[in-house]
Amino acid sequence: MSSPIAVSAAVADALAHHRPIVALESTIISHGLPRPRNFEAAKEFEQILLDAGVTPATVAVLDGVPHVGLDEEGVRRIADEDMAKASVRDLPILAAAKRSGATTVAATAHLAAKAGVRVFATGGLGGVHRGASASFDESADLSTLSVTPITVVSAGVKSVLDISATLERLETLSVPVVGYRTSIFPSFWLTESAFELDWSVQDAHEIARMMKSQDELGHGQGIVVANPIPRDQQWDPAEHDRVLTEALAAADAEGIHGKAVTPFLLSYIVDASGGRSLEVNLDLARNNVRLAAEIAAAWSVLTA
């Protein structure tokens, strides 16, 4: 049977010749950034990779077909069209209905790994939500990484989530988490959280060797590389704490719950910060794309 995944010519050629590739998600473009800034950011992320000699593989579902690698028209569509946010469970539904969707971290990781791409750059990883002991609200990003051999570079998880529970869950799922030149887990907008990591790495080659060892040991999990935003680019911690407290109180006051909580909080935070949180989001995403490019290059050398 032919593959249900459409792999772009550029990505297919890079795979065939063992050249570095980095997957990029599309939800950050369709749901995380305002228009037309989102299209500009999508093209910028791809250009960072191209300038580093790495093939970008932006992932999305277009008219029911999962794509790993998009042409400019495809990138324009995810930036301009109102698309569903697609996690792994949504993929067969979109395929059957021939509908389009922007892929979350989970769906991007799943499709990229199926196509043979081993490195993925995103902004922040999904995690366990606050109050999950009652709501059982946990991102599919975590369970997907427990069965998907891909290395994800992220700036930790957003501080609107339960960071401690997220790290505990990743440990339970046997997903390695390593800090890039840090022993403190980052919290997305901030360089540090209150939580220490067991392991840290100093360069991309060390991460590539870890990936190879994981393959040799027969593990099927992914690897989370926690890459903190540089301290001089982070959001002011005092302002962050104030706005986050206000956002959480506002969500409680308005009775927001379930899936609506995170979008509400993020929208509130962007407005209350005067757009500062959005600028930090872009800075950390660029930082993650650059590190992912280095890891992909190291991986291609190691496995050539």
Residues making up the annotated binding site for substrate are 85, 105, 139-141
Between 276-302 and 237-253, two packed helices, what is the crossing angle to 10 degrees? 110
CA distance 228 to 234: 9
DSSP letter at 232 equals G
- In 3D space, the residue among 24, 261, 266 whose CA is nearest the CA of residue 123 turns out to be 24
Between 261-272 and 237-253, two packed helices, what is the crossing angle to 10 degrees? 130
CB 153 within 8 A of CB 225: yes
Residues identified as active-site: 25, 158
- Going by the annotation, the residues of the binding site are 85, 105, 137, 139-141
The answer to whether the Cα torsion of 283, 153, 25, 87 is positive or negative is negative
Report helix, strand or coil for 287.
helix
Amino acid at 123: G
In this structure, the number of other CB atoms found within 10 A of the CB of residue 89 comes to 11
CA distance 226 to 279: 19
CA distance 187 to 277: 13
Amino acid at 50: L
Amino acid at 257: H
DSSP letter at 268 equals H
DSSP string, 183-195: SB--BTTBS--S-
Cβ-proximal residues to 67 (8 Å cutoff; 6+ apart), any chain? 5, 6, 7, 8, 59, 60, 61, 74
